[in-house]
Amino acid sequence: MTVLEVIQRSAEFLAKKGVESPRLQIELLLAHLLKIQRMQLYLNFERVLTEAELEKLRELVKRRAQREPLQHIVGSTNFCGLEFLVNRQVLIPRPETELLAERAWKFLHDRGEVNANPSALDFGSGSGCLAITLAVKCPAAKVYALDISAEALAVARENAAKNKVLERIEFHHGNGFSVLSAGGKFDLIVSNPPYIATDEIATLEAEVRDYDPKLALDGGADGLGFYRILAQEAAGYLAASGKIMLEFGEGQADLIKEIFQKQKWIVEAVEPDYSQRLRFLIARRA
């Protein structure tokens, strides 16, 4: 069977299983299997796959048809041009979170004009995608990563080593700010906390519902639990003129803005993602 025939048949199969973008998915799986760039497939449509290659591909396609995320099957994903290992212990980084990372590193660059070694805390670090990206993009910054999951932090450490910034990130395991050193202040606190209401988790796509860790999804009864914690507690860990930058879910903008304003934060901006949905909050203390 040729590369083109495999792509066509597998795409039809995945489509019947309800997998989004089935042609793209099989092309990425096949490129991963053959250890080539996806675009190289187009130069090799007539190549005949060996029986061993077909057998391996069938297993990969079967896993994807069962709605296992592509990123878990190939073992990694790209975020801000960096490669991150992912598994069932961490949330798969989403493309919109790259916009949060970009805002954060630009702030740290500007902050560096005042403080030669600015610091940033990634609250709820998961795979470490935000903390590691900040460490890569801002070599002068000291970065801290905090997560309640020891398993997630183990993945984050692997990713930090993979991206050669392990020695520049301080990892903390625990539930909230209490595990940090007393009196510690950060120029920036950045977070993509859990924001799905508990009862809504069952309605999510299978790739998220069945494979992403519940700890990284469940934001409490209304999805806003972690924003209340951040609004109440983060100020004590923020340096003078420092900022907090957060990602949130669709339809939560006004509620989260109100939560922070009630705690005497000055909300500087509520900004959209790629699809123009309000997605990010930037705030500071008076």
Looking at residue 113, what is its pLDDT?
Answer: 74
Residue-by-residue DSSP string for 194-250: --B-GGGGGGS-HHHHTTS-GGGTB--TTS-HHHHHHHHHGGGGEEEEEEEEEE--T
For residue 277, the number of C-alpha atoms closer than 13 Å in the C-beta half-sphere is 10
End-to-end Cα separation, the chain, in angstroms:
66
The string of pLDDT tens digits covering residues 102-139 is 999 999 999 877 777 999 999 999 999 999 999 999 99
Looking at residue 48, what is its pLDDT?
Answer: 96
Which amino acid type is present at position 285? R
List beta partners, residue 17.
none
Mean pLDDT by 10 residues, the chain (286 residues): 96 96 97 95 94 97 98 97 97 97 96 84 98 97 96 98 97 93 87 98 96 96 97 95 96 98 97 96 94
d(CA 138, CA 119): 10
Looking at residue 286, what is its pLDDT?
Answer: 81
Looking at residue 232, what is its pLDDT?
Answer: 96
Q: Do 133 and 125 contact (CB within 8 A), yes or no?
A: no
List C-alpha distances in Å: 157 to 19, 126, 166, 168, 281. 32, 10, 7, 11, 27
